[in-house]
Structure 1
């Protein structure tokens, strides 16, 4: 802490100031404070003084130089001092060293920027790699099937089985590439957020799942749903993936029952997709939202292991969060929030 008169001359210099700046009291008194400390103010010094004279107070970040030449970031708070008769006499300044905090904030910002660049580059790589892989994969699949048709009578049973393995592998790779492209496009090709009816969104998702619903004889219950602001196409993807999973992971011999509902929360809507399926052990709750994570053999339940990661990324793009509640053989409820005000992306 220091006190200076209206002309800038230091008239008080406590031990904290000595420790912070390295100047002994005897050498600091009588000096002009902004010259002694080589102070850099966010606005002209005259404007700060005028503010304090007018309002009695000012605070801001100032850069000061210590006796050893080190630059410090300082949180500075000024108050006006007065004489016994109430006349302005000088300025009391309380300085707090914020150099370490500022450096930590700078490092955190730099790391966040580096992480954002890395994520962007990774998404770009996934998009380009997936896009460029499609054509050669189609050629492998097409020519393998052509080989099977043209030389059908000349191939034995083992050869036909090998060709079927190759074609099945190409199909699974194509599905994986398509899911990767969808994942990479969440940010790259996301549309503007607009008012949408979630009842219409769910209707579209159910239409896309009509085949699976009929095949499994699934029962669907859709509660009244609100209108929200969102990317309509991406919201269809979320509901389609969640309802599709609810249908896929049903208990053997028991038709799936799926309920879609919405609940009002402070400043957001929470949507839920609940089922009567095989359920999930709590220890897998985090894992299932990661890329390529599968809890079951591909032969038992088909899929690429990207669907829930895609849902989570879409929900987070909307500023929401996703969670699951479940237990083995007791079904699962996947829910997510969409805030009323979506943060800028």
Structure 2
């Protein structure tokens, strides 16, 4: 059974690679022709036609993002984590700075919206002290980026968003969590939320690829850690993950 599962995973990896590479060129063509149409015929197009063109361009961007996410997911399945000394406080500061900048840019675009459609500012909470550990710096950064982006994306409009990052040192692991007071996830969906292309039925109107949490799971499992979710619809979600303690020259057990 284990051999069959491994073979299926390898087949999926090959399928992902082939499909991703084959889709790149047509998506670039769609984006190019859509941009050309807007430049050449923009003034002549009706508002309805401009809306259709906008939908085409947004769909092409989403498809391109999905391909990049799939390629990243596939790469993570082939490569072992490159362990190095990581100052988590510094790494998290970079992620938070980038996240806050993106949030500020998003809020600038909101200035023209009616007051009822504007989103309240975000409160970020992180511990003063965070560990120095051995991990794949790029992978750990991706984990925090994906979890913070999910919290921002699936917020509730009626309450100010609060995102808390936590850490606890255990005998053999470093335990982290990212907690929000967003939409939350239905219990039946939580078990498959870390699988590829899985998005809850209540978030269909929000742009996304359904790959982010699968990437998080793969990165943490590549470190021989664990990841799990605790979520309540209408109250929020907490993602917990662990990174084993390893010394220089060792591999995660």
**After TM superposition, is the score higher than 0.5?**
yes
Q: Tell me, yes or no, if structure 1 residue 219 matches structure 2 residue 123.
A: yes
- Tell me how far 1:118 sits from its aligned partner: 3.4
* Whole-angstrom CA distance in 2 between matches of 1:148 and 1:213: 28
User: How far apart, in 2, do the equivalents of 1:328 and 1:118 lie?
Assistant: 33
Cα pair 2:245 2:252 within 8 Å, conserved: no
Q: Tell me, yes or no, if the aligned pair for 2:86 and 2:133 is still in contact at 8 Å.
A: yes
Spell out, residue by residue over 1:62-116, the C-alpha distance to the aligned partner (whole angstroms, 9 max, x if none). xxxxxxxxxxxxxxxxxxxxxxxxxxxxxxxxxxxxxxxxxxxxxxxxx434432
> Taking structure 1 as reference, are residues 180 and 262 closer, same or farther at Cα in structure 2, changes over 3 Å only?
same
Q: Report whether the alignment pairs 1:176 with 2:85.
A: no
Question: Match for residue 225 of structure 2?
Answer: 320
- 1:287 alignment partner, SS class: coil
CA distance in 1 between partners of 2:189 and 2:183 (Å): 14
Structure 1 unaligned residues grouped into runs of 5+: 1-110
In 1, Cα distance between equivalents of 2:153 and 2:186: 17
Tell me, in whole angstroms, the C-alpha distance in 2 between the residues paired with 1:213 and 1:148.
28
Secondary structure (helix, strand or coil) at the match of 2:197 reads coil
> CA contact under 8 A between 2:156 and 2:183: conserved in structure 1?
yes
Deviation (angstroms), 1:277: 1.7
Deviations 1:259-301 (A, max 9, x none): 11111223111101111222223322212111111113442x2
Secondary structure at the residue paired with 2:224?
coil
The alignment's C-alpha RMSD in Å is 2.1
Determine helix, strand or coil for the equivalent of 1:175: helix
Bigger proportion of residues as strand: 1
Separation in structure 1 between the aligned mates of residue 4 and residue 229 of structure 2, nearest angstrom: 31
Superposed, 1:67-216 pairs within 5 Å as 111-214=1-104, 215=107
Matches for 1:257-268 after TM superposition, within 5 Å: 257-268=162-173
1:246 deviation in Å?
1.7
| Residues 294-318 of structure 1: CA deviation (Å, up to 9, x unaligned) | 113442x221111111101111111
Flag the 1:221–1:144 CA change in 2: closer, same or farther, 3 A: same
1:289 counterpart SS class: coil
Q: 1:154 offset after TM fit, Å? A: 4.2
Structure 1 or 2, whichever has the larger Rg, is 1
Larger % of helix: which?
2
Distance in 2, Cα, partners of 1:251 & 1:115 = 38
Higher mean C-alpha deviation, range 248-257 or range 116-125 = 116-125
Cα distance change of structure 1 residues 149 and 196 upon mapping to structure 2, 3 Å threshold: same
On the 8 A contact 1:195/1:228 being kept in 2, the answer is yes
Secondary structure of 2:193's partner? helix
Evaluate the alpha carbon distance shift between residue 316 and residue 191 of structure 1 in structure 2; reply closer, same or farther with a 3 A threshold: closer
Tell me, yes or no, if the aligned pair for 2:146 and 2:212 is still in contact at 8 Å: yes
Pair 1:279-2:188 in alignment: no
Q: Return closer, same or farther for 1:212/1:255 CA change in 2, 3 Å cut-off.
A: farther
Q: Does 1:306 align with 2:211?
A: yes
Query: Number of residue pairs matched?
Result: 233
Check conservation: 1:212, 1:247, Cα contact below 8 A: no
- 1:132 shift after superposition: 3.4
**4+ residue runs of structure 1 moved beyond 4 angstroms?**
none
What is aligned with 2:115?
none
Structure 2, unmatched stretches of 5+, are 108-119
Q: In structure 2, what is the equivalent of residue 234 of structure 1?
A: 139
